[in-house]
Structure formats: structure tokens, C-alpha cells
Amino acid sequence: MIPSPWILFPQPNPQADVRLFCFSHAGAGASIFRPWAALTASTAKSTDTDIEATEIAIEVCAVQRPGRENRLSETPYRNVTALVHQMHPQLLPYLDRPFVCFGHSVGALICFEWVRHLQQQLGPLPLALFVSSRQAPQIPVALPWTHTLSRNDLLSELRSYGGTPEAVLKSRDFMDLYLPILRADLAIHEAYAYSPAEPLPIPISAFGGLQDSKVSKASLEAWTQQTTQDFRLRLFPGGHLFIKDSAAGILQAIAQDISLAQVAQS
């Protein structure tokens, strides 16, 4: 298979049982999921008390959107529909084994729309969808929008999210490169227009940060309206970017829910 700029495999595993497609949050690239590949070996085990504990080999497959890291010279997308239509044929060759999708913040919206596109195209669907730190798609983002803020106000907003070192925020050269990418991703998130459709016939699990001031528990619970199957909500310590310190717990939950989905399909 010819390598695609859309895909990063931190640790390729041809013998994996399940491929985990990962979609990053606003401004981030695929490299944030590199540590996940090392963690799957120790966390990818079902521990649900209702089913027999089984090892699940998970291959992390991080999706690299244009405009960041090794695709820095490309223009980032500002519209999720255009992004999904361009991305879809690039990911299709990698649906040759059972797979699941995980997206954080705007990444959750992108992978949700991609799964809906797969459903419309009668393509293979993931075993489950995992969404993190993003309100359900039917809930619009309240005004004022962040992607239209002035530079100084946008930097202040970044500080409120946490996770970005102050030295980075004060680096003009870095911010000159970073802020256009961030604005494009935030435009996808904030200007998204939800189109009602049939709920997905796959389980959805939502993750959130207990101290996240941006995304409420109720708005995460509303994802249950997007599935005809099981819905689960798990909350972790931390704010909007809680995944930085909770990767092991998230992967454990993903492995558990993969096992439950496999049992439901058998």
C-alpha cells in the first residue's frame, strides 16, 4: 500500500485485531497520538465484569489533516464537509480490517461526519465511535465564536484551555504559523451546520474532563441521540485537554467497549 500523507502509523501492526483512527483537536497534528501506540500494549485489554477478559491488539492510526506538521505547506480546511469529501478516499484503503474512530474536540466532529459519510456511501462502519470533549453535533456552538477573535483575545482564550506553555504562547514566530491553523480548525467546530439524519447503528462512547468549562456533562450526554445502540459516558480528571494525562484510561475504556461491541455483533 502506498503511504498516504493523511495517515501516521506510530507503530504499524499488521497483526492487529482493530485499527484505531484518531482525529486531533484544534491546532494539533497526528503526532499527539504517538504515545498512544506504546500504551496499547499494556492497556488494550477488556476488563468488563460481564465478559471474559481478552487481549485486543489495537493499531493506532492517526489522521493528519492538511496545514500542520509534515503538511504545513498545505492550506487547512475550514469546512467539515469539504474536509471529509477530500479525506474519505484517502482513508478507504485502510478499512481492510475492523476499526473504530476516536476524535477529540473538533476531531470528534470530523470523525462523526466521516462515519455518517461512510453510512451514506454504504461503506464499512466502525465497531464503535469514541468522541471526546465535544458537545453533541445537534447542539450549536454559542456566540461569540473564537475563530473570529483578535490575535490577543485568541491567545487569552488559548490560555484558558490550558496545556500550552506560556513560552510557546509568547513566541511570535511560532504563533504566526500556528494561529491560522487553529482558526481554521475552530471555524470547522464553530460554524458547523448540523443536518438531521438517521442515528448511527453503532455504539457511541463519550469522554469528558471533570473540570472542562467548555463542554458540559449534559452536552456530552446528548450524543446518545446519535446512536441506536449503546451509549456510554466516562469523565476523567482535568479540563478540556484532559487526554494529555488520561491516555491510558481512555485506551482501557476503548478496549473494553470494543469487546462489548464485538460481543453484541456475534
Catalytic residues: 105
Give the Å distances, CA to CA, from 164 to 12, 27, 28, 100: 29, 11, 11, 29
Largest CA distance in the chain: 55
Helix axes 172-190, 106-120, angle to 10 degrees: 40
Residue 70 grid coordinates: 509534515
Q: How does 129-160 read in b/e, with b if 16+ C-beta sit within 10 Å?
A: bbbbbbbbbebebeeeebbeeeeeebeeebee
Dihedral in degrees, nearest 10, Cα atoms 264, 227, 9, 77: 170
d(CA 235, CA 204): 14
Alpha helices in the chain (DSSP H): 34-43, 80-91, 106-120, 151-161, 166-169, 172-190, 217-221, 243-265
Q: How does 163-176 read in b/e, with b if 16+ C-beta sit within 10 Å?
A: beeeeeeeeeeebe
Calculate ∠ Cα 134-29-147, nearest 5°. Answer: 55
d(CA 96, CA 61): 13
Compute and round to an integer the Cα radius of gyration of the chain.
18
